[in-house]
Structures are given as structure tokens and as C-alpha cells.
Amino acid sequence: MAAGKFGSKGYTSASRGSDFLRSVLQNGSGRYVQQLQRLTFRFCQKSQESKQTRDYVENGLTDFANRNPGVVLYVTPESDVDPKICAEYLNGRTEIVTLNKLTEDEISKKCEDLKDRSGLEIMRRRKNIHTDVPSIQGEWTPFTNFKKYDVKYKPNFAVETKHSWDSFPAPWTGLYRRNELYKLENRQKLNYTEKSQEPLGKWGPILRPKY
């Protein structure tokens, strides 16, 4: 068990390290820079455990190199060693992945995962959204600018019947443009008899859809 300044880490949810969601030097806001710098394959020349790694180096590593020209690849065959990959990133971190008992497809998937990584240590995320410059106004809610909102106020759910042609005050009149206010103030005005005979207004019979 690894023990550090604050005790053991990585075994229980309470002691596991956590961090906010972040990227390396705001990578991706402009031109994306691939963070994987070097991949080193170490495997045995004769052991059965390294057979799948040898097959991947012979068959699939060339395709990976052609797709990722910015990644430097090293192949280091040795004697009596377990197959593994050593990934080095631009931020200085090094990550080692064991390839024992993995197939060629699984090794290829490991290489793709290492290629897409930022080099930052994998930690438990505290929350999905984080900003380095938080707003001094606090978190926005639907009731932020709702002046009549009061937690002690009991809402009235009584149902009131009204005529569909009754005029109601527009609460958002101050947000309309001048030409829109002109249309609202000078729109067609009909009495109840005319409205019952022509519910769609003056142009209703002309604009009525035909089937």
C-alpha cells in the first residue's frame, strides 16, 4: 500500500485522490497538440507471454505509426521480461501498461487509449463542470431575477375560468421592439359577436388551409 503525506491513496473512495476536470495548458482552445511523445515496447524475444506483443509489433505497429507521425516509437526486445508499454507525455509523466495475456486487438486498443490521453493522472472527478474564474454573482437559477419569489409565499393553485378572447396584460412589453409594440397596439379589434363568427380574424377565411 502506497503511503504519502496524507496516508494511503487509491484503494478506497474516501482515500482516492480527486481533482476537477481540466486539460493541459488549455489544450484544444486553439490548435490541438497531441500530448503523447513516445511509446516504448518491451517484450521477450522467445517467451509465450510476449507472443501477442511480437505479433502486434510485426503486423499492427506500422499502421499505428502512419496514423500518428508525431509519436516516437521504440521497440526493445529483451530476454526474460514481461511485455509492457512505456508511454511518455509532454508534461513529464510516464505511464507503464502491462501487456501480459492481451490479444493483438486489445494491445491496439491500449495504444489508442494512451494516444488519446492528456498525460494527466487519472483521478476521481469532483464535478463535471469547473471554471478557473468563478463568477462573483454565484450560480444562476430560474429565480435569480424573479423579484416576487419568496420561499415563505404559498402559491395559489386555484383554477380561474376566463374567456379566450379576453385581453391579458403582457408582462414582457418592455422587451419588445418599437415596431413590435406598434403591431400590438394597432392590431385588429373585434367584439364578441365578430370574434365568435370569425375566430381566426379578418384574414381567417383567406388563410384557412384547404385539404
Domain assignment present for residue 139? The answer is: no
How many Cβ atoms are within 10 Å of 85's Cβ, its own excluded? Answer: 19
Instruction: State the pLDDT at residue 9.
Output: 45
Domain assignment present for residue 138? The answer is: no
Domain count, the chain: 2
Do 112 and 28 share a domain, yes or no? yes
In the chain, the percentage of residues whose pLDDT exceeds 70 is: 64
Instruction: State the pLDDT at residue 191.
Output: 72
Domain assignment present for residue 92? The answer is: yes
What is d(CA 115, CA 90) in angstroms, rounded to the nearest whole number? 12
172 vs 49, which has greater pLDDT? 49
The DSSP code for 122 is P
Point out the least confidently predicted range of 29-38, 47-56, 61-70, 76-85.
Answer: 29-38
**Mean pLDDT over the full length of the chain:** 77
Domain that holds residue 47: 20-125
CATH code: domain of residue 38: 3.40.30.10
What is the tens place of the pLDDT at every residue in 140-186? 776 666 666 566 777 777 877 766 666 666 667 777 787 777 777 77
Instruction: State the pLDDT at residue 199.
Output: 64
37 vs 161, which has greater pLDDT? 37
What is the tens place of the pLDDT at every residue in 62-76? 999 999 998 999 999
Q: Are 106 and 118 in contact (CB under 8 A)?
A: no
50 vs 211, which has greater pLDDT? 50
